[in-house]
């Protein structure tokens, strides 16, 4: 019995059915191998969820009252993500007493580079959120979720703006992370679209913000052009929480003897004058987040 097949046998029936249905779509033979690989992907998504919610300071709970104002991130049995923003302090209450929230539903398909996203505002919970039970909503086309596997929310005392920012970070990481994990289900990964091309990023940003792709493209390209211009004007350009871009000077280099890496033959490397070069400095916050990435994952994706 394979490592993940054994775990699969302990999963809830609905999860097993989902894993087996996805396995039948992969084209991987034999079927046992397909089931094991899909199970591995499913467990990796669950691990990423736990890792990321911990990274942004969220805590796991078994239930959440429908009137609890905190933001919440839900992982369903089918590995879809539901993001419910915190209730705004000045939100109007509906007839049922519930206050509206921002809402994002991300369904992660196995053969796409961008998740299927549905976003709405003014969405209300109509039932308590509980592990192993569906959740119902009012004010969006997703009236009912599948069974909930994990619930993550915030400790008391985190303000609304901070909750929204942390939810945004977690949602973007997990939706793209889940798509990346799904790529292991293809027989030939090179046939899969690359989710981090500029084109795919534009599609994702457009879908997540409910704008046309042409508008998202123009905004992103204007942003990149502004960053480039700032650097070329020798200014320190912030890239938000990632760090900042500047220019520096590489000192002059004397002529020296070296070897041709292809033939091993000795050759003269000519002198070089002082040269202006780009420099990127990563922020302390980004460096700290990087330390949470497992070494094995980084090693597996080292450039050749």
**pLDDT in the model for residue 224:** 94
> What does DSSP assign to residue 6?
H
Do residues 34 and 28 lie in contact, with contact meaning Cβ atoms separated by under 8 Å? yes
Q: Is residue 192 part of a domain?
A: no
| 65 and 179 belong to one structural domain | yes
Query: What pLDDT, in 10s, does the model give residues 3-44?
Result: 656 666 767 777 777 778 777 777 777 877 788 888 888 888
**pLDDT in the model for residue 181:** 84
| 146 and 134 belong to one structural domain | yes
**pLDDT in the model for residue 44:** 87
Q: Is residue 191 part of a domain?
A: no
Q: Is residue 280 part of a domain?
A: yes
Closest CA to 84 of 28, 148, 133: 148
Residue 87 sits at φ, ψ, to 5 deg, of: -70, 130
Query: What pLDDT, in 10s, does the model give residues 98-141?
Result: 568 999 998 877 656 666 888 999 999 999 999 999 999 999 99
**pLDDT in the model for residue 107:** 84
* CA dihedral over 11, 19, 58, 100, signed as positive or negative: negative
Do residues 195 and 179 lie in contact, with contact meaning Cβ atoms separated by under 8 Å? yes
pLDDT lower than 70: segments of the chain = 1-8, 10, 90-99, 110-115, 186-195, 300-304
Q: How many structural domains are present in the chain?
A: 4
> What does DSSP assign to residue 156?
T
Residue 53 sits at φ, ψ, to 5 deg, of: -65, -35
């Amino acid at each position: 019995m394979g490592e993940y097949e054994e775990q699969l046998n302990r999963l809830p029936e609905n999860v097993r059915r989902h894993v087996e249905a996805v396995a039948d779509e992969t084209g991987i033979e034999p079927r046992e191998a397909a089931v094991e690989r899909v199970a591995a992907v499913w467990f990796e998504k669950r691990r990423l969820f736990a890792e990321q919610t911990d990274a942004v300071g969220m805590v796991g709970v078994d239930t959440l009252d429908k009137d609890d104002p905190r933001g919440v991130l839900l992982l369903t049995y089918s590995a879809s993500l539901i993001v419910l923003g915190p209730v705004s302090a000045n939100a109007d209450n509906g007839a049922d007493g519930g206050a509206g929230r921002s809402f994002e539903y991300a369904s992660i398909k196995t053969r796409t580079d961008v998740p299927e996203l549905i976003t709405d505002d003014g969405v209300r919970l109509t039932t308590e959120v509980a592990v192993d039970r569906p959740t119902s909503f009012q004010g969006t086309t997703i009236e009912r979720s599948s069974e909930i596997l994990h619930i993550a929310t915030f400790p008391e005392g985190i303000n609304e703006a901070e909750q929204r920012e942390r939810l945004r970070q977690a949602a973007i990481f997990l939706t793209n992370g889940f798509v990346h994990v799904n790529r292991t289900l293809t027989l030939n990964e090179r046939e899969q679209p690359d989710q981090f091309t500029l084109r795919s990023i534009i599609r994702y940003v457009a879908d997540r913000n409910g704008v046309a792709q042409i508008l998202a493209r123009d905004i992103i390209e204007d942003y990149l052009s502004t960053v480039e211009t700032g650097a070329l004007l020798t200014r320190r350009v912030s890239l938000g929480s990632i760090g900042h871009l500047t220019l520096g000077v590489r000192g002059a280099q004397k002529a020296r003897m070296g070897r041709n890496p292809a033939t091993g033959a000795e050759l003269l490397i000519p002198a070089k004058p002082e040269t202006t070069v780009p420099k990127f400095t990563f922020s302390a916050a980004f460096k700290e987040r990087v330390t949470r990435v497992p070494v094995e994952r980084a090693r597996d994706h080292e450039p050749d």
